[in-house]
Amino acid sequence: MTISLDGRRFRAVADVVAGEVGTQTVFAYHERAGEVWAEYAGGSIRRGHLVGTRTGDRLDFRYVQLNTDGQTSSGHCVSEVSVLPDGRVRLHETWSWESRPGSGSSVVEEVPAP
């Protein structure tokens, strides 16, 4: 059974080396009919957007963002969806910049509901 990402919020579990996303960055995901998109902000990110597709437990998307220094960046990411023992969702991400050199991996986990 595929778990929907729609309405779920995520946060990085650690600051991302070679990236700008950190533990203060919060992602608000949406999903409908195989399409995924999100808005994100926090930490060094003033505003970010991602858009892409989902096939099973695999997300494939492009992202664009504006950092707090006023610089824009873009890239590509592939994520694998998994479920933690407590029922929250985890995304294992492999990403690369398209607007500048660099790549890496990160893990974001669902933020527990208040």
* Predicted local confidence at residue 18, as pLDDT: 81
CB 50 within 8 A of CB 34: no
Kindly state whether residue 77 falls inside one of the protein's structural domains.
Answer: yes
Q: Total domain count for the chain? A: 1
Kindly state whether residue 38 falls inside one of the protein's structural domains.
Answer: yes
pTM of the model: 0.94
* Predicted local confidence at residue 42, as pLDDT: 96
Kindly state whether residue 26 falls inside one of the protein's structural domains.
Answer: yes
Give the sign of the dihedral formed by CA 10, CA 68, CA 20, CA 57: positive
Kindly state whether residue 2 falls inside one of the protein's structural domains.
Answer: no
Kindly state whether residue 3 falls inside one of the protein's structural domains.
Answer: no
* Predicted local confidence at residue 6, as pLDDT: 97
Q: Specify the CATH number for the domain of residue 65.
A: 2.40.128.30
* Predicted local confidence at residue 2, as pLDDT: 85
* Predicted local confidence at residue 62, as pLDDT: 98
10 CB contacts (<8 Å, ≥6 apart)? Answer: 26, 27, 29, 89, 91, 108, 109, 110, 111
Closest CA to 5 of 52, 66, 75: 52
95 CB contacts (<8 Å, ≥6 apart)? Answer: 19, 63, 75, 76, 77, 78, 103, 104, 105, 106
* Predicted local confidence at residue 71, as pLDDT: 97
Kindly state whether residue 1 falls inside one of the protein's structural domains.
Answer: no
Kindly state whether residue 62 falls inside one of the protein's structural domains.
Answer: yes
Taking the C-alpha atoms of residue 89 and residue 73, their distance in angstroms, rounded to an integer, is 26
Query: How many CB atoms sit inside 10 A of residue 47's CB?
Result: 13
Average pLDDT of adjacent 10-residue blocks, the chain of 114 residues: 93 88 96 98 97 98 97 98 96 97 95 80
Domain that holds residue 55: 8-111
Kindly state whether residue 15 falls inside one of the protein's structural domains.
Answer: yes
* Predicted local confidence at residue 113, as pLDDT: 73
